[in-house]
């Protein structure tokens, strides 16, 4: 399979769908996948025609089963570290893309595959999905950002148990602990993902972007610093036309028409 085919790209009315496309390997992550994903993310980051991104996996079995174990088994320690650093760079690109990215988890999301999903803005999973960090079971560490993001998503206690046992959980349990936002049928996965995105995209684009940025950046700050960042962004959006439109529509009891200005 050529590099050009390991990540599929589709743009429909400003919503880009990126599909990890190694179904014969349960969409396992190798350098080709990560490099291709990075290139596409770079391309769409400043593309104003792209409003949001859906990230999913090819086939019905897996979003991504994680890092390609056959590569890890024969790689040197330095190569493994470089591979992990590449993956960390890609997850950072996803998290700081400036657009809403929803992981449509269509099956197994394990190890590095789950770490890709954890870097997305939101996560929707099919009912048969299984998620987990089995790295310790092969003598490894969740080195693509899982030890950082999972505790922030579901709390230190639950994250520690999952990371130290390597146990997998089903979609309902993932929803219960806050790892995924919704659980849907296989047939409704992309439809409900698109509906959620349309609901978000109907809001002020600037308010959505700054809200996510405040959440993302604020998680690295103290409570006071994070709250002050939110206050700064509140003042910043007050200078926009969308803010005046939104507040006027509220007072007039009408629906706002946001323009992104």
Write out pLDDT tens, residues 205-242: 999 999 999 998 888 888 999 999 999 988 998 899 98
How far is Cα 12 from Cα 109, in angstroms, rounded to an integer? 25
**Quick one: tokens of 203?**
């809001």
| Nearest residue to 171 (alpha-carbon basis) of 138, 131, 140, 135 | 131
pLDDT of residue 1 exceeding 70, the answer is no
| Residues classed as catalytic | 115, 135
Q: What's residue 221's pLDDT?
A: 87
Summarize pLDDT for 32-89 with one digit per residue, the tens: 999 999 999 999 999 999 999 999 999 999 999 999 999 999 999 999 999 999 999 9
Summarize pLDDT for 96-129 with one digit per residue, the tens: 999 999 999 999 999 999 999 999 999 999 999 9
Q: What's residue 4's pLDDT?
A: 58
pLDDT of residue 260 exceeding 90, the answer is no
| Nearest residue to 15 (alpha-carbon basis) of 56, 52, 57, 55 | 52
**Quick one: tokens of 185?**
């049928």
Summarize pLDDT for 166-194 with one digit per residue, the tens: 999 999 999 999 999 999 999 999 999 99
- Domains detected in the chain: 3-201 (3.90.226.10), 205-252 (1.10.12.10)
> What confidence tier does 245 reach under pLDDT thresholds 50, 70, 90?
confident
How far is Cα 187 from Cα 226, in angstroms, rounded to an integer? 39
Interior CA angle at 10 toward 180 and 13, to 5°?
Answer: 90
Q: What's residue 3's pLDDT?
A: 45
**Quick one: tokens of 183?**
């659980």
pLDDT of residue 6 exceeding 70, the answer is yes
Mean pLDDT of 153-160: 96
**In 10 A of CB 231, how many CB atoms?**
11
pLDDT of residue 251 exceeding 50, the answer is yes
Summarize pLDDT for 14-38 with one digit per residue, the tens: 999 999 999 999 999 999 999 999 9
Average pLDDT over the chain reads 94
């Amino acid at each position: 399979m050529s590099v050009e085919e390991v990540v599929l790209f589709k743009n429909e009315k400003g919503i880009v769908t990126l599909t990890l496309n190694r179904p014969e390997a349960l969409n396992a992550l190798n350098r080709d996948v990560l490099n291709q994903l990075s290139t596409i993310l770079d391309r769409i980051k400043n593309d104003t025609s792209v409003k949001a991104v859906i990230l999913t996996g090819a086939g019905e079995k897996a979003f991504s089963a994680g890092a390609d174990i056959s590569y890890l088994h024969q790689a040197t320690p330095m190569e493994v570290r470089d591979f992990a650093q590449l993956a960390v760079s890609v997850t950072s690109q996803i998290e700081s893309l400036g657009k809403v990215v929803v992981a449509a988890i269509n099956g197994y999301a394990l190890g590095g595959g789950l770490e890709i999903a954890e870097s997305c803005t939101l996560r929707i999973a099919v009912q048969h999905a299984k998620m987990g960090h089995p790295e310790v079971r092969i003598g490894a560490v969740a080195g693509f950002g899982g030890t950082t993001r999972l505790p922030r998503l579901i709390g230190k206690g639950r994250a520690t148990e999952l990371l130290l046992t390597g146990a997998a959980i089903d979609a309902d349990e993932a929803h219960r602990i806050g790892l995924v936002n919704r659980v849907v049928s296989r047939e409704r996965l992309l439809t409900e993902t698109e509906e959620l995105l349309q609901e978000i995209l109907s809001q002020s684009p600037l308010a959505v972007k700054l809200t996510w940025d405040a959440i993302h950046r604020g998680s690295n700050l103290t409570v006071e610093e994070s709250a002050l960042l939110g206050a700064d962004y509140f003042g910043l959006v007050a200078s926009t036309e969308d803010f005046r439109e939104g507040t006027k529509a509220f007072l007039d009891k009408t629906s706002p028409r946001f323009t992104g200005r």
